[in-house]
Chain A
Amino acid sequence: MTAIDSELKILLEKPLNHLVERAINEGMIPIGYACSMVPEALISVGKLFPVSMRAPGSEGTEMADLYLSSVICTYARSLLEFALDDRYKFLGGYVFTAGCDHLRRLHDNLDYLKKPGFSYILDIPHKTGGAALEWTIEEITRLASALEKQFDTDMSRESINKAIEKTNALNRALSAIGTLRKSKHPPFTGTQYHRLIMASRVSPAEYMMPLIEKFRKTAEDSEGRSEYRARLMITGSGLDDPEYTNIIESQGALVVADRYCSGSFPGLEPLDSSSNPFEALARRTLEVTRCPRMMEGFNSRAEYIAQIAEEYSADGVIIESIKFCDTWGLESAALTDQLRAKGIPVLRVEREYRQSGEGQLRTRVQAFIESIGH
């Protein structure tokens, strides 16, 4: 597992990794996105490919702090800092959603300070239902037209369906590996799987597939892990740094499941490629992402997490949220109560986007594992 893990680590060291570079050299166009509500499949059509925006190794947000207020989360600020440092110059454009105020402000500032060749923000309703679906289909159709015009990419239904198939194939491959975590002795750590998922979110699908296959084969040949003290699930706001999972696992835990933006649940659920692709993409955004920004559906979101925790035999759940994240800040309070009422031990932690307070996190996780009797 060490060899493939090292390959994945390299892909996560900087936004412009060697696979993205290779794709650009071959005429492909990377499109950045920062919210799981962005329909990834639509920015995978033809020569386009999605790149989840991260700020690996961020050392501070001095410049971004001038433009974004102190109550904007450090994820948005770190991305702006990276953009100001031209670390995202390689992108052909950005697609945002009005997912939360923090990302909206990031979009405004990027538009103002570093106007990219292409920038689009999707307006997504906070409710599901007929009217919301209709609205979202229209929004996604508009985005498709804008992408077609800007990048001269065929956005016919057939092309989009083909991109959906491609995204589904990638997600199915990742998901098949993920289910191995149900085993009593999974053949890889949560950190290694986190790296695999994140590398797949920042690299073109075509070039990731061989690496995913290599990971799968290595996992098949590896011995199961039995040296853990507790099986944990992580849930919460966007967590794109596998080192966070690593700190948790350094305390004797094995992270067996996750539910956060850019994670494996519900992000890997396949889309319907047989029907109207715009409707399939809109349904994914509205119904599958299960984002707490939606005004309704708290019970079903909580139930979903409890169900995964049970399926993967998690001994407890860690709810993490980035400081000032309104969406997860509110959700995590109610979620903690709901999960505890079901008898699931919960540790709630706030964090910054950039890795800090490592010692305190270690103490919290260790005490949590001890408190659940392991």
Chain B
Amino acid sequence: MIQKYYGGCDIGSTTGKAVIIENTGIILGSSIVHREIDPEVTAALALEQALKNIPEINSIKDLAYLVGTGYGRSEISFASENISEISCHAMGAFFCDRSIKTIVDIGGQDVKGISINDDGTVKEFAMNDKCAAGTGRFFEAMARIFRMDLADFSDLSLNARDLIPVTAQCSVFAETEVISLLAGKNPPESIAAGVQNAVAKRCFMLLKRVGIIPKVTITGGCAKNRGLIKALEKALQEKIAPLSVDPQIIGALGAALYAKKRESR
């Protein structure tokens, strides 16, 4: 059997991700890079990095098929095809755990609720509107106010004894609200718990629209936010199933899996 390699490239609003798989679906390489202004440049960088440790492949041209996804998907001229990130996240999560039925994907600028069929295809989905409240951008702004990096802010709420309600309906209002609460010498961990709780509620509303069927998992960059996972589990009254693969590259993984499917059609 001739060994073939397939690529998936997920160009998000904050980062670019790439995954390279072989015939059997085994991940040979992956990467996460910061976004450049041009989505195509981001894609090239992400792929270059993902290919770096695979000696059998010299360049993107050696890939049998490449699928682009994410908000910059249509700008990747060297991709064989582009597929929506909704389908890719569903396929990626399904590949990691076939019993996953519901996904909440929190990316840099949007939140999606996805329910999936028995074959990994999308059954139903819902997205937030234009507003970036409750997305990665929102958490970045919050961490900045707390003068922390994202990782520390994610863990801050874990030690809260109580939560102080904060609105997540609007990033700008939330920002001013949190600044006032901090200035009022309220415990930072309780404010952080309020922030995580507000985002979890938004996710809950979105997931309600597609139906919450266990197992539920979380994908996207914000899946690494432990405080959010705790708040989500409380809001959903459901355990969030961890995935065997870095949740931030699930979209790119799904794209690579679609690449394999498409090429063998």
A9 to B60, CA, bound (A): 42
Residues in A whose Cβ lies below 8 Å from that of B49: none
In the complex the two chains form, is A363's CB within 8 Å of B87's CB? no
Q: How far is the CB of B117 from chain A (nearest CB, A)?
A: 9
Residues in B whose Cβ lies below 8 Å from that of A360: 110, 127, 129-130
Does A129 sit at the interface, judged by CB under 8 A? no
Residue of A nearest to B258 (CB): A370
Residues in B whose Cβ lies below 8 Å from that of A359: 71
Residue of B nearest to A356 (CB): B130
Residue of B nearest to A366 (CB): B84
| Interface locus among B50-58, B118-126, B229-237 | B118-126
Residues in B whose Cβ lies below 8 Å from that of A363: 71, 84-86, 127
Which range holds the interface residue count of chain A?
Answer: 10 to 19
Does B33 sit at the interface, judged by CB under 8 A? no
Residues of B within 8 A of A (CB): 71, 74, 83-87, 110, 121-125, 127, 129-130
Q: How far is the CB of A176 from chain B (nearest CB, A)?
A: 36
**Contacts A363-B71, A363-B86, A366-B84 known; A371 to B129 CB distance under 8 Å?**
no
Q: How far is the CB of A346 from chain B (nearest CB, A)?
A: 10
Residue of B nearest to A365 (CB): B84
Residues in A whose Cβ lies below 8 Å from that of B86: 363, 367, 370-371
Interface-central residue, B84, B121, B125, B130, by most chain A CB under 10 Å: B84
Chain A binding site: helix, strand, loop or mixed by DSSP? helix
A367 to B71, CA, bound (A): 12
Does A210 sit at the interface, judged by CB under 8 A? no
In the complex the two chains form, is A373's CB within 8 Å of B110's CB? no
Does A364 sit at the interface, judged by CB under 8 A? yes
Does A154 sit at the interface, judged by CB under 8 A? no
Residue of A nearest to B124 (CB): A371
Residues in A whose Cβ lies below 8 Å from that of B122: 367, 370-371
Residues in A whose Cβ lies below 8 Å from that of B83: 366, 370
A344 to B252, CA, bound (A): 30
In the complex the two chains form, is A357's CB within 8 Å of B129's CB? yes
Task: Please provide the chain A residues from 343 to 368 with a CB less than 8 Å away from any CB of chain B in the complex.
Answer: 350, 356-357, 359-360, 362-364, 366-367
Q: How far is the CB of A325 from chain B (nearest CB, A)?
A: 15
6 interchain residue pairs of minimum CB distance: A367-B86, A367-B84, A371-B122, A366-B84, A370-B87, A357-B130
Residues in A whose Cβ lies below 8 Å from that of B124: 371
In the complex the two chains form, is B129's CB within 8 Å of A350's CB? yes
In the complex the two chains form, is A371's CB within 8 Å of B123's CB? yes
Residues in A whose Cβ lies below 8 Å from that of B127: 360, 363-364
Q: How far is the CB of B170 from chain A (nearest CB, A)?
A: 13
In the complex the two chains form, is B71's CB within 8 Å of A371's CB? no
Residues in B whose Cβ lies below 8 Å from that of A371: 86-87, 121-125
A370 to B85, CA, bound (A): 11
A363 to B87, CA, bound (A): 10
Residue of B nearest to A350 (CB): B129
Contact of A373 among B74, B84, B85, B121 (CB under 8 A): B121
Q: List 26 A-B contacts (CB under 8 A).
A: A350-B129, A357-B129, A357-B130, A359-B71, A360-B127, A360-B129, A363-B71, A363-B85, A363-B86, A363-B127, A364-B127, A366-B83, A366-B84, A367-B86, A367-B122, A367-B125, A370-B84, A370-B86, A370-B87, A370-B121, A370-B122, A371-B86, A371-B87, A371-B121, A371-B124, A371-B125
